[in-house]
Amino acid sequence: MFLHLYGLSYSRFRRLKEHYESHGISQRTHGNCKRLPSNTLPQAVVEDVKSFLSNYVEENAILLPGRIPGYKNDDIKLLSSSETKMSVWRDFTAACERSDKQSVSYSKFKVLWEQFHPNVVVAKPMTDLCVTCQENTAKLVRSANLPEGKKSECVRAQQEHLNTIKRERKLYREVCEESKQAFQTVENTIQLSEQHDPCTLDCTVHYSFNYVQQIHIPSNPMQPGPIYFKTPRKCVFSVNYVIDEASAVGKGANATISYVHRHFEQHGLGETRAYLHADNCSRQNKNNYFLWYLVWRTISKLHHTINYSFMIAGHTKFAPDRCFGLIKGAYKVNYISSIYKFAQMVDTSSAVGVNKAQLVLTHDGRVIVPVYDWASLLSPYLNKLPNINTYHHFRFSTDEPGKVYFKEYASSPELSFMLLNNRAVVPGPTVLPCKLNPEGLSDERKLYLYREIRPFCKRGTEDFVAPAP
C-alpha cells in the first residue's frame, strides 16, 4: 500500500532504504558523476552563449510590442521578422571564429535560447499601416545604447499612443453596443424591408462604411495563365454598392455622399440620432464635403443629431472589413463571370446574410443608383473647416444649425466652428444636386476588353463583360 500511494517500485524503494541506512537524510549522488559524456559543453561555452544572446536581445529586440497582433504577453520581446534563429546562430558562430572560441551546434543553440530567453521571439511578417507605431518601434530598437531617460521617453511616447488607440476602440465598441441594444427594443415593431420617414424613431443607430479594393471580372479560381498578365473589367465594392468600371465616377466626395444618402433613404430606420464611423481618409476636401452634407441633413431635419468619427489611421479595422473579408474569401473560390454573378456571390458570402449587394449600373448602361454633385450644391453656403485632417470626431445638431463641434480624440476638449456663410441663407431640404453621368468606358478600353478579355468569359456572359465596341 505504501509503494502504491507514493508511486514507487520495489527496487527504487530498496535503493532509497539502503542509502538512508548508510548516509541518513541526504541528497543522492549519481554513480556516474565523475565521468561526463563526450558531448558535454564546458560551462564557459554555455556562459558565452548566454552573454551573446543577452547582448543581441538588448541591441535588436523591441522592448514594447506595440500594435502587433498575436502577442498578448506583456514581457514579450520581438526580433525583426527578417531575422531567424538560424541567422542569429550564424552571427554567434562568426563571432566565435573571430575570437577563437568554441561554438555550439544549431540544435543546442536553440535549446539554450529557450532556456535563457524564452520570451524573445521572431516577429511574424505582417502589415502594420500605422506610421506612428512604426516610428516609435524604430526608436525603441535604436534606444539600446541610449541613456535611461531617453529610453523611458521612447517607451512613454509609444504607451501614450497605444492608450489613445484603446480609448478610440473602446468608444467604437460602446457606440456599437448602444445601437445594438436600441435596435433590439424596436426590432419587433419595424419592418426592415420598408422605407421609413426621417426622425420617426427616437433612438441612436450606428452606421459604418468603407471602400474595399477593386476586384476583376471575369475571375476564374483556376486562373488561366494568359489572363494573369491582362487587366480584366474592374469592380469596386463600397458600403453595399457594387460599382462597375463603366459606372464609376471615382471615390471622391460626391460618390461617397450619394451612396450614404441613398442608404439613409432606402434602408434607414428613421432614427433621430445617427452615429457614423468611417475609415480615416487623408483627403481634406473629401472630408469637408462630407461635413457639409451632414450639416445639410441636420438643417433639413433629416436627423436631430449626427456624430461622425474617423478611425485612427493605421488602426482602422472595423465591422466593414469583416464583411469585405467574407466577400474576398468567396471571390477567390468562385468563377465570377459577370457583375450579376458577383452580386449574387456577395449575397451568399455570409451564412447570416450580413452582406447585401446593390448594383449601381447594369451592363447595358441603366443607372440604378445615381451620383449627385453635392460639392457644387453646398459650396456656396458653407465654409471649410481648417486643419480638418487633425480631428477625428465631429458632432452636428438641429439646435445649432450650421455649427460643427469637433475634437482631436475622444478625450480631447471639444471645439466649435460655424460652417454656414450666412445663417439666414441655407440650402433647401428638398433640393437635390444635379446628377453626374458616368463617363463609361473609353473606346480604347472597350476594344481591349473585346480583344483580350472576351475569350476568358463564361459562355453567355461575353456581352456583359466585353461586348463588341
| Measured distance CA(464)–CA(365) in Å, rounded | 11
Using pLDDT thresholds of 50, 70 and 90, give the confidence band for residue 93: very high
| Measured distance CA(208)–CA(322) in Å, rounded | 12
Using pLDDT thresholds of 50, 70 and 90, give the confidence band for residue 437: confident
Radius of gyration of the chain (CA): 32
Cα separations in angstroms, 443 against 36, 277, 364, 384, 466 = 84, 39, 16, 39, 12
Can you tell me whether residue 350 is helix, strand or coil? coil
For 43-125, the fitting CATH number among 1.10.3470, 1.20.120, 1.10.10, 3.30.70 is 1.10.10
What pairs with residue 219 in β-bridges? 336
| Measured distance CA(220)–CA(218) in Å, rounded | 7
Q: Kindly tell me if the per-residue pLDDT of 251 is higher than 70.
A: no
Neighbours of 46 (CB within 10 A): 15
pLDDT confidence of residue 3: 92
pLDDT confidence of residue 250: 64
Q: Which of 122-126, 164-168, 411-415 has the lowest mean pLDDT?
A: 122-126
Q: Which of 142-156, 244-258, 385-399 has the lowest mean pLDDT?
A: 142-156
pLDDT confidence of residue 379: 86
Q: Kindly tell me if the per-residue pLDDT of 173 is higher than 70.
A: yes
Mean pLDDT computed over every residue of the chain: 84
pTM of the prediction?
A: 0.75
Neighbours of 303 (CB within 10 A): 23
Domain boundaries in the chain? 43-125, 178-465
Q: What is the pLDDT of residues 294-342, one digit of tens each?
A: 999 998 889 999 999 988 887 878 888 888 888 888 888 888 888 888 8
Cα separations in angstroms, 147 against 21, 74, 83, 140, 150 = 60, 23, 26, 12, 6
Task: Please report where in the chains the cell 539600446 appears, as a residue.
Answer: 144
